[in-house]
């Protein structure tokens, strides 16, 4: 009788794990809705970021799309930082960092 109880308990536990974790797919199928709008080829602007939309799956956004966008933005920002530093080095008499931009209404105070 004890063996039957252990087998039934193991089967119930296995079924619960399968129910919680799904079928084992790495990426769940997309839920119906608006199609993904990722970054365009070439330079990325603020408008491209504002129009960015990821596909939605059962438990959130598709991780592969989010990772690709974050990697792309990291490379784009690194390139722009490098280019900005290069251009600033060409300006004679620029003896340090540029002054900070004035605070705009709605910006969080950093004090």
The contacts of residue 49 (CB under 8 Å, 6+ apart) are 73
In the predicted model, what is the mean pLDDT of residues 27-54? 77
Overall domain count for the chain: 1
Any domain includes 37 = yes
Structure confidence by residue, pLDDT tens digits, 46-65: 788 888 888 887 778 888 88
The domain in which residue 36 lies consists of: 29-91
Domain membership of residue 4 (yes or no) is no
**Is 108 within a domain?**
no
Q: Per residue in 71-104, pLDDT tens?
A: 999 988 899 999 998 998 888 877 555 566 666 6
Domain contains 55:
yes
- Measured CA to CA in angstroms, residue 13 lies from 7, 20, 37 at distances of 10, 11, 40
């Amino acid at each position: 009788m004890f063996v039957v109880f252990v087998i039934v308990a193991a089967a119930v536990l296995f079924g619960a794990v399968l129910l919680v974790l799904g079928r084992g797919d790495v990426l769940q199928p997309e839920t119906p809705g608006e199609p993904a709008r990722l970054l365009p080829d070439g330079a990325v602007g603020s408008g491209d970021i504002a129009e960015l939309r990821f596909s939605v799956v059962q438990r959130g956004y598709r991780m592969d799309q989010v990772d690709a966008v974050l990697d792309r933005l990291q490379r784009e920002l690194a390139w722009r930082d490098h280019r900005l530093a290069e251009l600033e080095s060409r300006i004679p008499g620029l003896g340090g960092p540029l002054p900070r931009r004035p605070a705009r209404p709605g910006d969080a105070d950093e004090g």
